[in-house]
Amino acid sequence: MSKPTPISGFPEWLPPQRMIEQYVIDRLRRTFELYGFAPLETRAVEPLDQLLRKGETSKEVYLLRRLQADPDAAASAGDDALGLHFDLTVPFARYVLENAGKLQFPFRRYQIQKVWRGERPQEGRYREFLQADIDIVDRDELAPHHEAELPLVIGDALASLPIPPVRIQVNNRKVCEGFYRGIGLTDPDAALRAIDKLDKIGPQRVAELLMSTAGAGESQAKACLSLAEISAPDASVADAVRGLGVEHPLLDEGLAELVVVLETAAAHAPGLCVADLRIARGLDYYTGTVYETQLRGYERFGSICSGGRYDDLASAGADRFPGVGISIGVSRLLGLLFGADALSISRPVPTCVLVALPAESDRPAGNQVADALRRRGIAVEVSPSAAKFGKQIRYAARRGIPYVWFPGVDGEPDSVKDIRSGAQQPAERSTWSPPASELTPTVSGGSAAAAD
């Protein structure tokens, strides 16, 4: 077999990077659970018709086919109609519909899983990547205060990581739609899709799009752009919108909801949220608050965490489950931060102590030392060989293991050496502990973190 090579778009971390990723996942979980979100996983596959409900993303789907499938049998078994999920929202909506009778509503869940998209890979865009989602769904009606709660969860979750502070940009689809209707546009979705392109193509070309695709006249296009320019950290956003002189009941409703989101966030963490009325989110299913998230100092990365309220994603017949959700792009965030050398870990192994062996025949005694330390929560390896002590110490150093334990011989006490300082002292296997800060590896922001 020849030496294998990476597959473009399918990233794999080295062990220290994977340890950082695991640490990040654990911290996110911790916050999600503090807010009462239960863990959930869905299968990796969905029937193709489920995956294509949103239409737009059909080109990204990976279909499955059994290598030895009999073409006729496969078709009848439905095997060739399964594809890998490309996000966690569509599978979650399907799961809620399928299990509604067994769930308590409002239902709060978090879901941290890989997703797959057959897109052309580029920097920070993968074909296989990890997402961390939270959603709240209710039956029939979802109270809007849930839209104000999610930024608190995300704010706490991301603040628990050694990454720069974030700013969550919020908007409300009702503000946009109400405004567009208030100025007489009849296809607000088309207008929203045009505004969504503002960052990419600029105001001049968005104005042209509004006129060519959304039926806007020149002054209507200008009004849409004026709305999109509004940004404010507090209730003044409503005054700024009203200053444009447009009226519509949906606009009023959206502004009231938007202000609650901003005020709830400000009471929790000042500066966390800002209303940014250019935030549109391209996909069609959002119906209320929408979110994007920037890492301060890394705005060039784009949004690392996005979502919104959806009213019609999980519906079957008379059953309707409106929801609100937000998704952290974990692989994307880590890939970009690894690339910027902005995350590091204190050691690349869990191991805190290496038990040295005077001779291979001492391995059973070494195992006993290791057992005694492990029972008290200290991660230990027994030396892989009874080489000269200098070589065993170099092995620990190469692995990044901070302490080497020397079992006492001829009735002498055991001793432990901090191989960084060289300090060695007698130690009791039933009582010795490393400093708490060294018990497990610690993750920190790298020195190369961008200035805020």
Q: Pick out residues in 310-329 that bind a copy of itself (CB under 8 A).
A: 315-317, 319
H/E stretch holding 123: none
Query: Which three-class secondary structure state does DSSP give residue 223?
Result: helix
- Minimum CB distance to a copy of itself smaller for 63 or for 244: 63
Q: Which stretch binds a copy of itself (CB under 8 A): 168-176, 239-247, 262-270, 291-299?
A: 262-270
What values do phi and psi take at 436, rounded to 5?
Answer: -55, -35
The yes or no reply on residue 89 touching a copy of itself (CB under 8 A) is no
Q: Tell me how crowded residue 161 is: count the other CB atoms within 10 A of its CB.
A: 20
Least distance (Å) from a copy of itself to the CB of residue 154? 14
Contact status, residue 419 vs residue 404, Cβ threshold 8 Å: yes
The answer to the question of residue 342 lying near a copy of itself (CB under 8 A) is no
Nearer to a copy of itself, 104 or 219 (CB): 104
Question: Should residue 222 be labelled a site residue for a copy of itself when binding is judged by CB under 8 A?
Answer: no
In the complex, least distance from residue 389 CB atom to a copy of itself, rounded to whole angstroms = 18
The secondary element (H helix, E strand) that includes residue 324 is strand 323-329
| Residue of 171, 169, 378 lying closest to 294 (CA atoms) | 169
Nearer to a copy of itself (CB atom), residue 71 or residue 317: 317
18 binds a copy of itself (CB under 8 A): yes
Contact call for residue 374 and a copy of itself (CB under 8 A): yes
Residue 309 phi/psi, 5° resolution?
Answer: -90, 135
Residues near 188 by beta carbon (within 8 Å), at least 6 away in sequence:
176, 177, 180, 181, 214
Query: In sequence order, which residues have a C-beta less than 8 Å from that of residue 162 and are 6 or more positions away?
Result: 343, 443, 444, 445
Residue among 24, 27, 28, 40 that touches a copy of itself (CB under 8 A): 40
Residue type, 63: L
β-pair type (45-47, 82-84): antiparallel
Beta-bridged to residue 45, according to DSSP, are 84
Q: Judged by CB under 8 A, does residue 409 bind a copy of itself?
A: no
Q: Which residues pair with 20 in a beta bridge?
A: none
Instruction: Choose which of 62, 139, 302, 414 interacts with a copy of itself (CB under 8 A).
Output: 62
> CB of residue 52 vs a copy of itself: minimum separation in angstroms?
8
Judged by CB under 8 A, which of 159, 379, 387, 450 binds a copy of itself?
Answer: 379
Q: Does residue 371 interact with a copy of itself by CB under 8 A? A: yes
**379: Cβ contacts below 8 Å, ≥ 6 apart:** 350, 351, 352, 353, 439, 440
Closer Cβ to a copy of itself, 268 or 296, answer by number: 268
Q: Does 439 bind a copy of itself (CB under 8 A)?
A: no
User: Which one of residues 339, 384, 413, 446 is an interface residue with a copy of itself (CB under 8 A)?
Assistant: 384
Q: Is 439 exposed, middle or buried (0-12, 13-18, 19+ CB in 10 A)?
A: middle
Two tokens, residue 417: 């050496």
Interaction between residue 294 and a copy of itself (CB under 8 A): no
Work out whether 349 is an interface residue with a copy of itself (CB under 8 A): yes
Residue closer to a copy of itself (CB basis): 130 or 305: 130
CB of 264 to a copy of itself, least distance (A): 7
Q: Check: CB of residue 189 under 8 Å from CB of residue 284.
A: yes
Do 69 and 80 contact (CB within 8 A), yes or no?
Answer: yes
CB nearer to a copy of itself: pick between 19 and 224: 19
Cβ proximity to a copy of itself: between 226 and 389 the closer is 389
Considering only residues 69-88, where is the footprint of a copy of itself by CB under 8 A? 69, 79, 82-84
Among 68, 204, 219, 361, binds a copy of itself (CB under 8 A): 68
Q: Where are the beta strands (DSSP E) in 186-321?
A: 231-232, 273-276, 286-295, 305-310, 315-316, 319-320
Least Å distance, CB 394 to a copy of itself, is: 11
Tell me the sheet residues that pair with 147: none
Binding residues for a copy of itself, how many (CB under 8 A)?
103
Interaction residues for a copy of itself, span 119-178 (CB under 8 A): 128, 138, 143, 145-146, 149, 152, 156
- Smallest distance, a copy of itself to C-beta of residue 325, A: 16
Query: Least Å distance between CB 152 and a copy of itself?
Result: 7
* Minimum gap (Å) between residue 7 Cβ and a copy of itself: 7
Q: Which residue in the block uniquely carries the two structure tokens 């600029």?
A: 202
**Cβ nearer to a copy of itself, comparing 172 with 351:** 351
d(CA 80, CA 76): 9
What count of other Cβ atoms lies within 10 Å of the Cβ of residue 260?
16
Give yes or no for residue 268 binding a copy of itself (CB under 8 A).
yes
Determine, following the binding rule CB under 8 A, whether residue 410 of this chain makes contact with a copy of itself: no
Indicate whether 389 belongs to the interface with a copy of itself (CB under 8 A). no
CB of 51 to a copy of itself, least distance (A): 9
Q: What is the CA radius of gyration of the chain?
A: 27
Three-class SS of residue 260?
Answer: helix
